[in-house]
Amino acid sequence: MPERDRDEAGRPRNSRPRDALGRPLPPGSEGVDRIPDDLHLPPAESLDYAQRLLDGGRAFHAHEVLEAAWKDGPDDERPLWQGLAQLMVGITHIQRGNVAGAAALLRRAASQLSAAPARYGVDLAGLVGYAGALESDLGAGREITADRLQPKLTR
């Protein structure tokens, strides 16, 4: 088995190419541009970058940006960044056709965002309502169109 690409601390890197929905592609395939493993942005820039990715239909990659912010941020902001990252994964599951996975992640995201501190202009109430409406529509078997998968993260 080939050695896995690792960083200086021995953690595995995410070097495998991925498609626009974040699905792994075979080694050597042409994938979309990746989010760097060592991404460090101020909160407002993280939100802006994640929004641009989300608006481009790349919720999985927006999740990676928000996950980096969660790892960089203070402990008291963890519910905010985790909730946003989970919301992006829920949207990714919808894009991939995984209704059960989407519903579970949307519930988790709403729970985290409900407990999150209000920071950086994030529309907590709007996103909690958005996650609940998506989950409800999934449960009712309603089609979710691509334009509904681009919520605004900030007010």
Residue 119 lies in a domain: yes
Residue 29 lies in a domain: no
Task: Calculate mean pLDDT across residues 131-136.
Answer: 98
What does the mean pLDDT of the chain come to?
92
Query: What is the structure's pLDDT at 10?
Result: 63
Residue 14 lies in a domain: no
6 vs 27, higher pLDDT: 27
Cβ-based burial of 22 (10 A; exposed 0-12, middle 13-18, buried ≥19): buried
Query: What is the structure's pLDDT at 117?
Result: 96
Summarize pLDDT for 58-97 with one digit per residue, the tens. 999 999 999 999 998 999 999 999 999 999 999 999 999 9
Query: What is the structure's pLDDT at 23?
Result: 87
**Count, residues in the chain:** 155
Count of structural domains within the chain = 1
Residue 16 lies in a domain: no
Residue 110 lies in a domain: yes
pTM of the model: 0.88
Task: Calculate mean pLDDT across residues 126-131.
Answer: 98
pLDDT band at 36 (very low <50, low <70, confident <90, very high): confident
C-alpha span between 131 and 102 (Å, rounded): 10
Three-state SS letters, 95-126: HHCCHHHHHHHHHHHHHHHHCCCCCCCECHHH
* Residues spanned by the domain of 85: 43-55+62-149
pLDDT band at 14 (very low <50, low <70, confident <90, very high): low
Task: Calculate mean pLDDT across residues 115-120.
Answer: 96
pLDDT band at 40 (very low <50, low <70, confident <90, very high): very high
Does the pLDDT at position 7 exceed 70? no
**111 and 124 in contact (C-beta within 8 Å)?**
no
Residue 74 lies in a domain: yes
CATH of the domain at 145: 1.10.3450
**5 and 15 in contact (C-beta within 8 Å)?**
yes
Please give the structure tokens belonging to residue 134: 């998506």
Residue 6 lies in a domain: no
Query: What is the structure's pLDDT at 152?
Result: 98
